[in-house]
Structure 1
Amino acid sequence: MPKVADYVLQRLGEWGVHRIYGYPGDGINGFLGALDRADGDPELIQPRHEEMGAFMAGAHAKFTGELGCCIATSGGGAIHLLNGLYDAKLDHQPVVAIVGQQKRFSLGAAFQQEIDPTVLFTDVSEFVQTCMHPAQARQLVDRACKVALSNRTVATIVFPVDVQEEDAQPSPPRTHGAVYTSVGWTRPRVIPPDTELAKAAEILNEGSKVAMLVGQGAAEAQDEVVAAAELLGAGVAKTLLGREVLPDDLPYVTGPIGLLGSTASYELMKDADTLFMIGTSFPYAEWLPEEGQAKAVEIDIDGRMIGVRYPVQANLVGDSRDTLTALLPLLRRKEDRSWREKIEKEVEQWWRVLDDRAHEPADPVNPQLVAYELSSRLPEDAIVTTDSGSATNWWAQYLRLGRGMRASLAGTLATMGAGTPYAIGAKFAYPDRPVIALVGDGAFQMNGMAELVTVKRYLDRLTAQNPTLVFCVLNNQDLNQVTWEQRAESGDPKFMGTQWIPDVPYTEFAKLLGFEGIKVDDPADLGAAWDRALAANGPCVLEVVTDPEIPPVPPHIKKELGKKSAMAMMKGDPEEAGVITKGAKQKLHEFTESVKDAMPGRNK
């Protein structure tokens, strides 16, 4: 007779869940036995830590659009899931978490590993329930999957150990209170009313300087976004989560926006008279047009998020692709292309600035050069992940993604430690595609190194179809992003007691596991090192010793940021001389390229 745990796994399989990320513990013993009996469907992928399993489940959802699933034991194991689940929640990814609990009759006795998972998971989960009877399992699994998919969020089911081991009851007894549910869900077609579409078209048609901002909500509307941009003569900026929406070889794509953004995106927003936001909740209003400067149109499938970032005159609550399809016939092509020409000029200049900055001398290697050298070598079907930290800046600015390439990170939560498990989750989902992670040494020390053991365990699975799995570690012995934030946001100098981290032989660790290990401390060797890493016949750790004094220069230095950075230097920053000199040189390239553009005879 199948047990409740067997039935739950079978039901999850009917929902399309064939891989579960999790770590064993006696609080899920019933599920461990059921996984053994399931004969690999669903299969358990064992990371080194439950948090990493939750990240991998979220990455699976991000890169496939399917349900992600993770599992953890009671007590500490359940608690470990939270960070990865919050990442999925805040980036709107459908993930179902299965959590163990002590036996029903011991609850309330302050028993070992007894926590209150309902309270613990209520904020991170839109649906959280405890299975108290075998006949309840069917409807809980079905509802959890429906909620996760419908609302693109996290759902959690808690299973006491004794319930896991009871005989399954796939069909509840026919009595008052019984609930009968089914497997199945379809994505709704959501479009705004015609009156709102007409209002949006009027605003967009009247605008002469249209700026578009796209996020991950526009990921399935690439062709429609391009069509709208062409009709409106608009420039298109991309949020970090929207990096893969449009390829960077389109001349009007201005790239990232915000502190990690481009000068082209800054100029786009500074001069726009119309703002068109599609599938984004970009939070930093100071990088959007000033209030009252631009009329705005916004598309978002979640009506709760319409008009919460910028005052909007046309509120298009709907799916990005379907809404754009309905809107496009109402848009008129702008014959005056002077705005578009200005944008394209700004984009050309930005790429030249990046080239100049990347080749600025450093001690020993300029971290910008690492991403610059990768960019021209990206395989056409690459998946590229990154971690939170200064590495995010270079990932956002330097990688010229082509059509069909995928890229993501922990966007809204911006937590450290997601880059490596994201890459592993992506490789499990797409073992036939090359996967590259660009991470800082802080994040890699935090949890990335341990997850190389996971790669070792599943080596054949991950590399049989395509061997390319590269973890590029920027080794600067500094928690670099926070160091720069201390300077620019708090006016404090770098404090070595918190910011310095020890040097670790990442390359040698990779070799201990039987992987390719490459260390670079000379910029002249970097291009060849990338060639070798991408051609490796298996996982590779590419360690680059980078200069912590190369600043992540914002596209526009706000007065307050500049003032506080100067204060930090005056207080005796240990890297004062290098920071001032290298920062000035980095910023100077913007002015140099502007002057070149203004010179007569400049090739446009």
Structure 2
Amino acid sequence: MSDDKKYVYQSIAQAVCDHEVETMFGLMGDANLFMVDHFVRGCGGDFVPAAHEGSSVLMALAYSHVKGKMGVATITHGPALTNTVTALAEGARAQIPMVLLAGDTAVSDPQNLQNIDQREVVKVTGAGFEQMRSIETVSRDVARAFYRARVERRPIVLNMPADFMWQEAAPYEKVLHHVFRTPAIVPEGEAFDNALGMIASAKRPVVLAGGGATHARDQLVRLAERMQAPLATTLKAKGLFNDQPYNMDIFGTLSTPAAYEAIDKADCIICFGTSLHHFTTDKGKLMKGKRVVLVNDQPSEVGRNYHPDAALIADAALTADNIVYWLDEAEIPPTGFTDELDGPTLTEHPLGRPGDVAEGCVPFVHALDRLEEVLPKDRVLTTDGGRFMTEVWCRISAPHPRRFLVNVNFGSIGLGLQEAIGAGFAEPDKPVIHFTGDGGFMMGGVNEFNTAVRLNRDLIVIVCNDSAYGAEHIQFVDKKMDPGLSMFEWPSFAALGTALGGQGLLVKSEADLDDAIKAIENRDRPILIELSLDPDDVPRMRT
């Protein structure tokens, strides 16, 4: 090509860079390789090559969650897109904005083996679809995809026909669509008066924050202090109130015994930025006999899982400050509820102790408690799905909700290690701790552990290996059936971690655990610690 010509693939890369994108995750193929090349060589961007297309989407989702900037991934067409279906569904359910630049087969080549109706594939995931319309609209179509991702809070797939790439580009026009964010609304009127009346008359209130209220941390702390109410979070907001003396950590089925007892005594739950999933309410049991006030800026989240006694469609921070203002104006005295509580016990789960487990296994809960003591505190915490995960959520602390990733919004396993890698690019100076089960690691972790090695990530992976699909194992046992079909003779994960270029350690005893702890302290590459577990020792999921 002549030096003075510009092509569509260059315009696409430039339009992405115009949105302050510095890192792109993906897999190259026929329809996107030249765009990726220009993003790196022409625009100075970083490209993170994944081993699987779905992994690139998960990495971008994690990057978006942790960094607070738009995550971007790219793939080619056909099977590359179908490989992202679970990841896109996870992102849509989690309401995480990201853009996937997906190639598409040429319209003029209907016999292409990889031809598929890509709009219909995307549609079933809950993600959005945006078509690149012409060579004249490239920058506008890219801008539209970014705008929709931010506003709709979900992945948007920008469909790029392969036959556009080497067409001569139209004169380039930089296009950015401003997202209008008005934090809003300070509620007033009958709905607010009703909610305020419930709050003012409460004797034992609890302030509960969900993932949609993490920006309002200081205001919620101020409200709780004014009312002398303990603070709690949903799972997605874990870590928000770590430094508060009456922090109960996770509210619901994952609560400590002391927190659960305090919730049971409460007469009013003031909820911000949550849809009150049945794990949070313990299927409604924790809300019985209590007034429930819900503040959420998304009307669709109100009553979606639990119908409150009062609801305000409003910004969490502004509403919390408004409640404090009117409590002061009315001279409502503090409740004194926190005087009844022993603050430190609210976050203390019963310690696991060395016990009777099968030969060659370590007690799971005891191992988690020891790891919590020694793992780097200034970290990013990610978990996969599986039977083991609820104990990890309870016992392994997260420094902040933005540095804690829960990737079970679609109920899948095998998504976590990929997100751990993406999170590491968002916080390159912090170690990433990833907990996964044996089934999840085999499903999605093996193919990306080497990616972490290749890219020299500071990653600590703990594989909780009970040699079973644990949730299925429990169901067989409960029905007094042979659980053999749920049991597996996996390869050595520790040896596999070493073979893939990391450092693998097998933990079958207390002495092995001591060695693993020393290895964590002295790590110089991604490390994989395989906990050999007794399937009958791993606690049931707390649901």
The answer to whether the superposition gives a TM-score over 0.5 is yes
Highest relative contact order (Cα 8 Å, sep 6+), 1 or 2? 2
Alignment of structure 1 residues 431-580 onto 2, 5 Å: 431-459=428-456, 462=457, 468-484=458-474, 491=479, 493=481, 495-497=483-485, 499-553=486-540
Query: For 1:367, which of 351, 364, 380 is the aligned residue?
Result: 364
State the shift of 1:510 in Å.
Answer: 2.2
Contact 2:204 2:229 in 1 (8 A): yes
TM-score after normalising by structure 1: 0.81
- 1:302 paired with 2:298, answer yes
The residue aligned with 2:153 is 152
Q: Quick one: which of 417, 420, 437 aligns to 1:420?
A: 417
Relative distance call for 1:370 and 1:291 in structure 2 (3 A) is closer
The one-letter amino acid of 2:483's match is F
Residues 260 and 552 in structure 1, CA contact (< 8 A), matched pair in contact too: no
Deviation at 1:271, TM superposition (A): 3.3
Name the aligned partner's letter for residue 14 of structure 2: Q
Describe the superposition over 1:277-310 as per-residue Cα deviations: whole angstroms up to 9, x where unpaired: 2112242154444666222211222111112233
SS in 2 for 1:296: strand
What amino acid maps onto 1:63 in structure 2?
V
Cα RMSD, aligned residues only: 2.7
Partner of 1:430: 427
Whether the 8 Å contact between 1:191 and 1:316 is mirrored in structure 2 is no
Other structure's SS at 1:230 match: helix
Q: Where do 5+ consecutive residues of structure 1 fail to align?
A: 173-179, 463-467, 557-604
CA distance in 1, matches of 2:97, 2:429: 24
The 3 A distance-change label for structure 1 pair 505 and 223 is same
Q: How far, CA to CA, are the matches of 2:429 and 2:175 in structure 1?
A: 37
Residue equivalent to 1:216 = 211
Alignment-derived partner of residue 136 in structure 1: 137
Among 189, 193, 196, the residue aligned to 2:183 = 189
Please state how far the C-alpha of 1:319 moved relative to its aligned partner.
3.0
- Matched with 1:111 is 112
3-state SS, counterpart of residue 108 of structure 2: helix
Correspondence 1:162-201 to 2 at 5 A: 162-170=163-171, 181-195=175-189, 196-201=191-196
SS of the residue aligned with 1:105? coil
Q: Write the distance in 2 (CA, Å) between the matches of 1:365 and 1:344.
A: 32
Cα shift at 1:551:
4.3
More helix, by proportion: 1
> Which residue does 1:51 correspond to in 2?
54
Size of the aligned set, in residue pairs, is 531
Q: Structure 2 stretches of 5 or more lacking a match?
A: none
How far apart are residue 93 of structure 1 and its match? 0.7
1:270–1:278 distance in 2 versus 1, CA, 3 Å: same
Task: Give 1:30 shift.
Answer: 4.0
How far did residue 228 of structure 1 move? 2.1
1:13 is aligned, of 4, 17, 24, to 17
Structure 2: distance between partners of 1:291 and 1:404: 24
Structure 1 counterpart of 2:266: 272
Q: Does the C-alpha gap of structure 1 residues 171 and 434 become closer, same or farther in structure 2, counting only changes over 3 Å?
A: closer
Larger deviation, residues 273-282 vs 260-269: 260-269
Cα distance in 2 between the residues matched to 1:350 and 1:19: 37
Q: Is the 8 A contact 1:14 1:183 kept in 2?
A: no
Q: Deviations over 1:490-522 (max 9, x none)?
A: x4646321x112232222222224422222111
Residues 221, 377 of structure 1: alpha-carbon distance in 2 compared, 3 angstrom cutoff: farther
Alignment correspondent of 1:63: 66
Structure 2 CA distance for partners of 1:161 and 1:316, relative to 1, 3 Å: same
Aligned 1:86-97 pairs, distance under 5 A: 86-97=89-100
Change in 2 beyond 3 A, CA 1:165/1:268: farther
- Give the aligned residue type for 2:383: T
Look up the SS of the partner of 1:400 in the other structure: coil
CA distance in 2, matches of 1:454, 1:334: 57
Percent identity at matched positions?
A: 22
| Partner in structure 2 of residue 38 of structure 1 | 42
